[in-house]
Amino acid sequence: MFRKKQLKILVFSLMTAALLLSACVPTPAQTESAGKVVIGSKDFTEQFIVAEMYAQILENAGFTVERKLNLGGTPIAHEAIVNGEIDLYPEYTSTGLLTVLKLSPIQDAQEIYSTVKKGYEDQYGLTWLTPSPFNDTQALAMTKEVANQYGIQTYSDLSQKAPELILGGPAEFLEREDGIKGLQQAYGGFEFKETKQLGTGSLRYQALLDGQVDVVVAFGTDGAIKGNDLLLLVDDKVFYPIYNIAPVVREDTLEKYPQITALLDELAPLLTDDIMSGLNWQVDGPEKKEPADVARAFLLENNLVK
C-alpha cells in the first residue's frame, strides 16, 4: 500500500513538472516576431504570385507581414514605396529604367540592373535586390507545329517568312513604334500576308490554336505560353527591352532587417520564363487557383518554406 501511494505521488509530481515546463515554452503566438514588413504589388496575376512568394518567405523566417496587394499600376506602387506605405514590392528592371527613371532603353540586362539600382538609391532611397532571369517583355509566339513547318525560331526568321503568315494582335501594335513599324526598322521584312486585330486577352491565343492566325503578339511569361505549349520566338537583335523582376526595397527597411536580402535572393534564380509562365497558367488557366496557394506550393517544392 505504501509503495502504491509513493508511486501515485511520483506520477503526480512528474505530470505537474511537465505541465509547468510546457507553460514555459513559447507557442507560435508567443514567439517574438523578427519584425514587421508591408509588401505591395501591382494589379495583375504575376505580381500577385511573386509578392505572395516574398511574403511567405519572410513569414517563414518569423516576420509579421502585412499585404497591400493589387495597388494598381507602376506610378501607384512606386509612390506607395517612396511614401513609406509599403516596404517592398516586385518591379521590372526596364519599367524602372523607362517609366520611373525615364531613361533611354538599354539592351544589356546587367547594365539595365546596374543603372536602375544606382538611380533608385540616388533618387529615392530604394534599392533593388537580385533579379530573376525571367523576362516579361513584349513577345511573339507561334504553335510549335507551324513554326517547324516554316523553319522559324527567331525574329529574323519571321521577318523573312512574314509574307506567308497571318499576324494577330491589338490594333495599336500595327501603329506603335514598338510594334510592326519598329520591327520593320530593326529587322527589315515583317510584311505579313494579313493582320487581324485581336485583344490582349485569351481570344488571341484561341485564334492561334484554331489556326485563324499563325503568329500572335504576346508577353514573355503569359500563362497561355506554357499552358498551350507554344513557342516564344527569340528576339535575336534584342529589339524589345528586358523586363527582369526583382524586389525593390526601402533602404531604411534593409537597415533594420538586413536578413531580408539573403532570404529573397534565394528565390531569384528559380523564376525562369518557363516556370513563371506555368505558375501564371495555374491561376489564369482552367484550374483558377489562388495566387497564394500557387506561391506556397512552389515554395514548398523548392524548400523555401516549411
pLDDT attached to residue 31: 55
Give the CB-side neighbour count of residue 251, counting CA atoms within 13 A. 10
Residue 81 has pLDDT above 70, yes or no: yes
- As a whole number of angstroms, the distance between CA 280 and CA 292 comes to 12
> Which domains occur in the chain, in start order?
35-135+244-301 (3.40.190.10), 138-232 (3.40.190.120)
* pLDDT tens-digit map of 232-283: 999 999 999 999 999 999 999 999 999 999 999 999 999 999 999 999 999 9
d(CA 219, CA 178): 13
With contact defined as beta carbons under 8 Å apart, do 109 and 133 qualify? no
> What is the grid cell recorded at 304?
523555401
Report residue 118 as a C-alpha cell. Answer: 544606382
Confidence of residue 3 (pLDDT cuts 50, 70, 90): very low
Asked if residues 37 and 260 have their Cβ atoms less than 8 Å apart, the reply is yes
Please, are residues 41 and 77 in contact by the beta-carbon 8 Å criterion? yes
Confidence of residue 180 (pLDDT cuts 50, 70, 90): very high
Query: How far apart are alpha carbons 158 and 220 in whole angstroms?
Result: 17
Rounded to whole angstroms, the Cα distance separating 212 from 233 reads 19
Would you state the cell numbers that stand for residue 297, as one nine-digit string?
506550393
* Per-residue pLDDT reduced to its tens digit, 88-125: 999 999 999 999 999 999 999 999 999 999 999 999 99
Distance, CA of 189 to CA of 16 (rounded, Å): 85
Amino acid 200: pLDDT? 60
Tell me the C-alpha distance between 212 and 205, whole Å: 10
Phi, psi of 154 (to 5 degrees): -125, 170
Would you place residue 20 in the very low, low, confident or very high pLDDT band (cuts 50, 70, 90)? Answer: very low
pLDDT in tens, 285-305: 999 999 999 999 999 999 999
Quick one: CA torsion of 170, 79, 272, 48, rounded to 10 degrees? Answer: -80
**pLDDT greater than 60 at residue 8:** no
What confidence tens digit (pLDDT) does each residue in 25-79 have? 444 444 578 899 999 999 999 999 999 999 999 999 999 999 999 999 999 999 9
User: What length is written for the chain?
Assistant: 306
